Amino acid sequence: MILQALHRLAEYEELVADPDFELKPVAFLVRVGRGGRLLGIESTAGEPEEGKGKKRPRPKPFPVPREPGRTSGDRAFFLFDKSEYALGLDPTGQRPADKLAARFALFRGRVRDCAEATGDEAVLAVHTLLDDLAASRQQTELPEDCAGNDLFAFVFDVEDRLVTDREAVRRYWKGLRGQDSGAPLVRCLVTGQEGPAADKHSILKFVPGAVSSGVPLVSFNSRAFESYGWSGNENAAVSRDAAEAYATALQRLLHPAPPDPVQPGQTLPRRNLRLAADTAVCYWAADADAESFVSALAPLLESNPEEVRELYRSIWTGHDPALDNPSAFYALTLSGAQGRVVVRGWFESTVSEVARNLALHFADLAIVRNTPKPKERDLPPQLPLHALLQSLAVQGKSENVPPALAGQLVEAALRGTPYPFSILQRAVERARAEIGKTGWADLERRDARAALVKAVLNRRWRRAGSSMKEVRTDMDPSNTQSGYLLGRLMAVIERLQQIALGDVNASVTDRYFSAASAAPRAVFVRLLKGSRHHARKAKDDDGKAKAAHWLEKQLDDLVSRFDPGSGGFPPHLSLEQQGLFVLGYHQQRHWLWQSKAARQAAAEAESVTTET
């Protein structure tokens, strides 16, 4: 199904209108005059972008002859290639002279064959130039900014098209491709039609975690992957045309700025979202009616409503009839590995179903925020996907995000299924490890972890038909679960210490959060003794006495929920209760640090009486 859906995408977007040619970024054009005179080498890249993190501008894409990727051994492409082949020059200066000469000879041989077969004046001029360069009758140097993998192609005289775009050359190449397709005929598993078998499946670039030279999606490079006496790609009976089509479609999905084959110079909408350093999800729909939704998916998950304001509101409320679209929707999660692409997830549904599932996803993640508002902008209405994933990673680094977990989180959001329970475990672990950090990014990760814990627990209980009370977005005085109450108690003790002592190097939360969330009985007895001391100290200050009385009353109310006759504080908390501890602390802390007016408004809205 994956290859069939990709093949349909190639047809729908006309990515392989001419199967013998494909779009590739050509960095430099070698302009050749009549008689083979070198007129110059021109860059196709635009001006470098200004600002921090300036990147090398992208070369312009051109339709070039479709060539299978190089694996091992030397093989020259037809009338375009790297400088080692096309000009016999190495930009790094590290390639041995005999190796360069051999590669240059292979390239010249292909040009010579075309010149002899077609008699085209442009090809004859290129052949003359290459022979002159080989014999040192003409000289040239590579541009200063040339990289080892930059592609060079040839243009003739004052023409704006590549030599490979000339009619005689195109006919020659198509005939050559037809002769080279002397592969056995197979019944293609993708199209169901008979055609020449694919010798090799195309190499894909922009696969996160893979080598820059690219990796295939389908390959059989070991006997362990073969069966029934077949060898190599006989194990996957795919025709050459179908293999090239699905690979072109997948390359388009992975590309950060895919060129439009129908409108030269334009780009197609991006259709991928990076989940981790080595994982990305590609997504698309089956027809044009769903384009607005699919184009908005990445901004939706990254909480960028400025780009998709109306659709964001529609998804959030789940009430827009325009989203009731039966178009097929696909998502493919990929990682790079040694020599191949790893498929981590495959999802098929409809646009309307995905829209409903995303609305539920946003609702499940909704949580009060302790992250302060940045200057000159508001907090996004939802936590971005990258913040959710980084909150589970060591040091908050994307390269530390487990790729399997990233894919499972996105798939659960799209499918509406329970989130992986391992998210809860990692969130609790990271909450303990990072509890004392107070930077803006640290606070955002705290919010993200709380949102994930809430989503995992609520969806898990909802699916299981559990009697457990679902966690609300903000603090819930009616929630009597032990873990939640203990988390609230931790926040009150922390606030009481802060009122009494001000900011200290290591608060009670910094020192005891981890132990209190796992073994509360052994910790809270000690913490309560300290909190009474803090309350007495705060009451000695007239400016703090009222707040201290109020906090002590909150503390007494929470402690009273743990009747000594019923065992008092529990000796240990399960993983679910530890997650509730994180939520109780998070929501109570938000409530305590609110203004008096905000607390009263929240209390009135929930019909809760709060004395201050």
Does one domain contain both 100 and 212? yes
Mean local confidence (pLDDT), 154-170:
96
pLDDT tens digits for range 128-144: 999 999 999 999 999 99
Q: Is 387 part of a structural domain of the chain?
A: yes
Mean pLDDT of the chain: 88
| Pair 240, 340 in one domain | no
Same domain, 499 and 432: no
pLDDT at 16: 92
Quote the tokens at residue 102.
């051999």
Q: How many CB atoms lie within 10 A of CB 409?
A: 24
pLDDT, tens digit (0-9, with 9 covering 90-100), for 417-450: 999 999 999 999 999 999 988 888 889 999 999 9
pLDDT at 46 over 80: no
Q: Provide, rounded to the nearest whole percent, the portion of the chain with pLDDT above 90.
A: 57
**DSSP of 560-589:** HTS-GGGTSS-S---HHHHHHHHHHHHHHH
Q: Please name every residue paired with 334 in a beta bridge, in sequence order, or none if there are none.
A: 280, 343
Same domain, 309 and 394: yes
For the cut 80, the answer to whether the pLDDT of residue 308 exceeds it is no
Clarify whether residues 358 and 243 are in a common domain.
no
Residue 451 CA to residue 454 CA, distance in Å, equals 5
| Residue 315 confidence (pLDDT) | 63
Domain boundary among 253, 281, 311: 253
Encoded amino acid at 505, one letter: N
506 and 589, same domain (yes or no): yes
**3-state DSSP call for residue 481?**
coil
Structure tokens at 443: 């606070």
Structure confidence at residue 59 (pLDDT): 92
Which of 298-302, 322-326, 351-355, 362-366 shows the lowest mean pLDDT across its residues?
A: 322-326
**Residue 611: inside a domain, yes or no?**
no
> Is residue 473, in this structure, part of any structural domain at all?
no
pLDDT at 180: 64
pLDDT, position 458: 96
Q: Are 34 and 128 members of one domain?
A: yes
Same domain, residue pair 154 and 68: yes
Mean pLDDT over residues 451-469, rounded?
92
CA distance to 44, 148, 348, per residue, from 272 (Å): 26, 27, 16
pLDDT at 213: 81
Specify the pLDDT at position 318: 52
Each residue's pLDDT tens digit, 537-573: 888 887 888 888 999 999 999 999 998 766 789 999 9
Q: What is the pLDDT of residues 1-20, one digit of tens each?
A: 899 999 999 999 999 989 99
Residue at 260 is within a domain = no
287 and 245 share one domain: no
Write out pLDDT tens, residues 170-201.
Answer: 999 999 988 765 678 889 999 999 888 888 88
pLDDT at 608 over 50: no
Residues 16 and 165 in one domain: yes
Check: pTM over 0.85? Answer yes or no: no
Residue 599 amino acid letter:
R
Alpha helices in 156-278 (DSSP H): 167-180, 240-254
User: Per-residue pLDDT averaged across 90-115, rounded?
Assistant: 95
Please compute the mean of the pLDDT values over residues 106-130 and round it to a whole number.
97
Whether residue 387 has pLDDT greater than 80: yes
| 345 has pLDDT over 80 | yes
CB neighbours of 159 closer than 8 A, spacing ≥ 6? 122
Give the domain extent around 28. 2-253
Q: How many structural domains are present in the chain? A: 3
Q: Which of the listed residues 422, 438, 464 is the one where a domain comes to its end?
A: 464
Closest to 202 in 3D by CA, of 151, 254, 153: 254
What pLDDT, on the 0 to 100 scale, is given for residue 465? 84
The per-residue pLDDT for 199 is 80
Q: Angle at which helices 403-415 and 421-433 pack, to 10 degrees? A: 120
Residue 261 lies in a domain: no
- Note the pLDDT tens digit of each residue in 239-280: 999 999 999 999 999 999 999 998 888 899 999 999 888 899
Cβ neighbours of 452 (radius 10 Å): 27
Better-predicted residue by pLDDT, 53 or 432: 432
The answer to the question of residue 612 being in a domain is no
Q: Using a pLDDT cut of 70, give the percent of the chain over it.
A: 91
Q: Which of 191, 314, 293 is nearest to 242 (CA)?
A: 191
Q: List % helix, strand, coil for the chain (3-state, nearest 5).
A: 50, 15, 40
Look at residue 265 and tell me if it is in a domain: no
pLDDT surpassing 80 at residue 383: yes
Residue 374 is classified by DSSP as: P
Residue range 42-71: average pLDDT? 78
332 and 218 assigned to the same domain = no
**266 lies in some domain:** no
Does one domain contain both 69 and 173?
Answer: yes
Handedness of CA 321, 324, 325, 326 (dihedral sign): negative
